[in-house]
Chain A
């Protein structure tokens, strides 16, 4: 059974493996032992802190196979996108020009560096073993974060965003980077991504373009990257768009990948999840598959389970489920149909 839980220091080797395997562009999984260690420690601290309002907390989760203890995936929530470090995006906005005399009016899209999305909660760091892609486990890994937000609303902002990794070729080249970022950063794409994960991001502010960039002046290959996702990002994109996330004309500074946005109060798993009472039992006449979480904080657990759920009634969980969720008779659980 796969169980989602907060990361622990002992997970470090697993995280390192996942970081190594993750796609360039998933910068929140830096391939660096010390950085990953810091990330784990920050996460533990966040789970322990009393929080009244979203701050710099980061909540990192892993998907663990029980009983083998293999970590097969991880995902993360950053309570505030741009608190510790500024959160830069490119806003894709039309500049209107008109000439009455010539009877010409047109909109020209231009990309401007901004920090507009800084105050939102950021979902990031989603990575799952290839074998588990497009399974219920991927849903669990992604959406359990949303159930966590539902359980602890004070810790998060009124809107949630995520960046879907943008298009790059098999060689690891990004046409968008080659047409834009490279001119200012003077680095290959992979190197820029790597630095982003390691260094403090001050260098970004120093190097990035200050003036808007007119889209029609970019080579077509770069224009095509605007809002385009890498195939490996498709699953994350699909899961979250089903949750009500939408593109909002912000793209990633490096690879042009789209940002997805949703008001917290409008996210499906948050709005439509139900609180129910757990009842340990043995026989379940399962009628559906559900994502189930225990609504805790540092003992947060979430699983996929086949249940017989009737609103208003207690939900029967078998022994394995109870152990995985660390619940017992009368505990509150949160669930939503898969």
Chain B
């Protein structure tokens, strides 16, 4: 498997993936024209022809038979063209010492505090391909890319995880808040937010702080709670150092998880090593490896043996990375491999 930038020939495969994803993948439009546009924009991004404010790094996961089975993306920065909104879960205290009353009321504050940060988005893996290694490559491969090109991204990476909704796709938070201001169903608003941008929908959202005691109980219960489908992504990113710091999505109250780039495990622990080609033994740990290129970026996972400043991988892996012996790679041990490597 390789993680590589999207190409124009990927359009049919992307369309198929988007159709499969259905409701869960808003950021990839089902509309062919828009999908094509996004694809071409991503290619220009990898060709370094766009500014960070507009940058869209769209990757695909491709197997050795050139089947595209997954997609993931990162933006250069959110909120620099149009405002990017979240709610922050803060606190209001209503207290009277004289009467011995003290009420702590979580309060939602509309804000633009994620402005300029880079967003992980558009993650989807074909259901029949959901093996652990694939998900990890698709998700964490992006982080290795950031490690190589930090100047292309903000100080933080964020990811908005989908919030809780019931089987019919109804969001209790939307029903308690957004619905009153938009007078439409959540799925409709959700869909519209990707026809254009969230920004002009945010113009209609209540701008005053919201006391959560005035929300329904069901709405309160889902604040910061991710949808079940987001759990795998949450697990992978949490292991990388992402955490919820109180910011939520304005529509469905899903959590925004975030990490300063310098704190992300893959970024911190990645190494620059020189390639050598050989036959790593059976006990060789798995490495996440990037060929250090931008437009011709290739990222893969493979067993490897590190000796000094050298990483020995097999020929096939080198081929996937489009590299020769002696070429420099950026690489990091996959997390659960570290324990094994130490043990060995």
**Given A206-B94, A207-B95, A217-B177: A104 and B206 within 8 A (CB)?**
no
Q: Which residue of A lies closest to B107 (CB)?
A: A211
Contact residues in A for B201 (Cβ distance below 8 Å): 99, 102
Q: Chain B's nearest CB lies how many Å from the CB of A210?
A: 7
| A97 interface contact, C-beta 8 A | yes
Residues of B within 8 A of A184 (CB): 94, 103, 105
Residue of B92, B107, B200, B210 touching A102 (CB-CB under 8 A): B200
Are the C-beta atoms of A206 and B204 separated by less than 8 Å?
no
A102 neighbours in B (Cβ, 8 Å): 192, 200-201, 204
Q: In angstroms, how far is the closest chain A Cβ from the Cβ of B206?
A: 6
Q: Decide yes or no whether A319 CB sits under 8 A from chain B.
A: no
Chain B residue nearest to A205 (CB atoms) is: B96
Establish whether residues A183 and B105, one from each chain, have CB atoms under 8 Å apart when the complex forms: yes
Q: A183-B213, A214-B206 are in contact. Are A207 and B96 (CB under 8 A)?
A: yes
The distance from the CB of A226 to the nearest CB of chain B, in whole angstroms, is 14
Partner of B101, one of A101, A185, A211: A185
Does A84 have its Cβ within 8 Å of any Cβ on chain B?
A: no
Within 8 Å of chain A (Cβ to Cβ): is B203? yes
In this assembly, does A213 line the interface, its C-beta being within 8 Å of a C-beta of chain B? Answer: yes
Per-position 1/0 for A56-99, Cβ under 8 A of B:
00000000000000000000000000000000000000010111
Set A187, A207, A218: member contacting B214, Cβ < 8 A: A218
Binary CB contact string for chain A from 180 to 222 against chain B (1 if under 8 A, 0 otherwise) = 1001111100000001000100110011111111101110000
Residues of the A chain whose Cβ atoms lie less than 8 Å from the Cβ of B180: 108, 214, 216-217
Q: Scoring B residues 177 to 206 as 1 if CB is less than 8 Å from chain A, else 0, what string do you get?
A: 100111100000000100010001101111
Contacts of B207 in A (CB 8 A): 95
Bound complex: CA of A316 vs CA of B99, how far in Å?
A: 58
Q: Which residue of A lies closest to B192 (CB)?
A: A102
Option from A95, A100, A206, A210 in Cβ contact (under 8 Å) with B96: A206
Asked whether, in the complex, the Cβ of A213 is within 8 Å of the Cβ of B211, the reply is yes
- B66 at interface by CB-CB < 8 Å: no
Residue of A nearest to B176 (CB): A217
Contact: A207 with B215, CB < 8 Å?
no
Contact yes or no, A108 B206, CB < 8 A? yes
A101 contact set on B, CB distance < 8 A: 196, 200
* Cβ of B246 under 8 Å from chain A: no
Q: Does A110 contact B (CB under 8 A)?
A: yes
Q: By the criterion CB–CB under 8 Å, are A211 and B208 in contact? A: yes
Q: Contact at B204–A212, with CB atoms within 8 Å?
A: no
Q: Which of B70-115 contact A (CB under 8 A)?
A: 92, 94-96, 98-99, 101, 103, 105, 107
**B241 interface hit (Cβ, 8 Å):** no
Chain B residues near A202 (CB, 8 Å)? 96, 98
Given A99-B204, A102-B201, answer yes or no on A203-B98 (Cβ-Cβ < 8 Å): yes
Interface centre among B176, B208, B209 (most CB of A within 10 A): B208
On whether the beta carbons of B181 and A97 are closer than 8 Å, the reply is yes
B181 in complex: contacting residue of A106, A206, A211, CB < 8 Å:
A106
Q: Is the CB of B99 within 8 A of A203?
A: yes
- The count of A-to-B residue pairs whose CB atoms sit within 8 angstroms is 92
Query: Is the CB of A179 closer than 8 A to any CB of chain B?
Result: yes
Contacts of A180 in B (CB 8 A): 214
| Given A186-B103, A187-B101, A211-B208, also A179-B92 (CB < 8 A) | no
Q: Which residues of chain B are near A110, meaning CB under 8 Å?
A: 206, 208
- Of chain B, the residue at the smallest CB distance from A208 is B94
Cα–Cα, bound, A98→B209 (Å): 19
Inter-chain contacts of B210 with A (CB < 8 A): 211, 214, 217
A7 to B105, CA, bound (A): 45
Measured CB to CB, the closest approach of chain A to B104, in angstroms, equals: 11
CB distance from A190 to the nearest CB of B (A): 15
Q: Which residues of B contact A218 (CB under 8 A)?
A: 214
Given contacts A183-B103, A186-B101, whether A209 and B204 have CB atoms under 8 Å apart is no
Name the residue on B nearest A213 (C-beta): B214
What is the minimal beta-carbon distance from A217 to any residue of chain B, in angstroms? Answer: 6
Q: Of A195, A208, A210, which one neighbours B99 at CB under 8 angstroms?
A: A195
Contacting residues, chain B, for A211 (C-beta < 8 A): 92, 107, 208-211
Nearest chain B CB to A246 CB, angstrom units: 28
CB distance from A293 to the nearest CB of B (A): 42
**A99 and B209 in contact, given A183-B103, A217-B180 (Cβ under 8 angstroms):** no
Contacting A at CB under 8 A, from B278-332, are none
Residues of A within 8 A of B176 (CB): 217
Closest chain A residue to B92 by CB distance?
Answer: A210
Chain A residues lying within 8 Å of B107, measured Cβ to Cβ, are: 211
Q: Using Cβ atoms and an 8 Å threshold, which residues of chain B touch A100? A: 200
Could you tell me the distance in whole angstroms from the C-beta of A186 to the nearest C-beta in chain B?
Answer: 5
The minimal Cβ–Cβ distance linking A90 to chain B, given in whole angstroms, is: 14
Which residues on the B side are within 8 Å of A210 (C-beta)? 92
Could you tell me the distance in whole angstroms from the C-beta of B91 to the nearest C-beta in chain A? 13
CB-nearest residue of chain A relative to B179? A216
Query: How far apart sit A97 and B214, CA to CA, in the bound complex (Å)?
Result: 21
User: Chain B: which residue is nearest A104 at the CB level?
Assistant: B204
| Residues from chain A with Cβ under 8 Å of B213 in the complex | 183
Is there an interface contact between B101 and A108, defined as CB atoms closer than 8 Å? no
Residue of A nearest to B180 (CB): A216
Task: Give the Cβ gap from A212 to chain B, nearest Cβ, in Å.
Answer: 5
User: Which 10 pairs from chain A and chain B are nearest by CB?
Assistant: A216-B180, A183-B213, A101-B200, A203-B96, A211-B209, A206-B96, A184-B94, A99-B200, A97-B204, A99-B203
Sampled A-B contacts (30; CB under 8 Å) = A95-B208, A97-B181, A98-B203, A98-B204, A99-B200, A100-B200, A101-B196, A102-B192, A102-B201, A106-B204, A108-B180, A179-B214, A185-B94, A186-B101, A186-B103, A187-B101, A199-B99, A203-B98, A206-B94, A207-B101, A207-B103, A211-B208, A211-B210, A211-B211, A214-B208, A214-B214, A217-B176, A217-B210, A217-B214, A217-B215
Given pairs A186-B103, A212-B208, A214-B206, 18 additional interface contacts (CB within 8 A)? A99-B200, A102-B204, A108-B180, A108-B206, A183-B103, A183-B211, A185-B94, A185-B103, A186-B94, A186-B101, A202-B98, A206-B96, A207-B101, A209-B211, A211-B92, A211-B209, A214-B214, A217-B180
Chain A contact residues, CB within 8 Å of chain B: 95, 97-102, 104, 106, 108, 110, 179-180, 183-187, 195, 199, 202-203, 206-214, 216-218
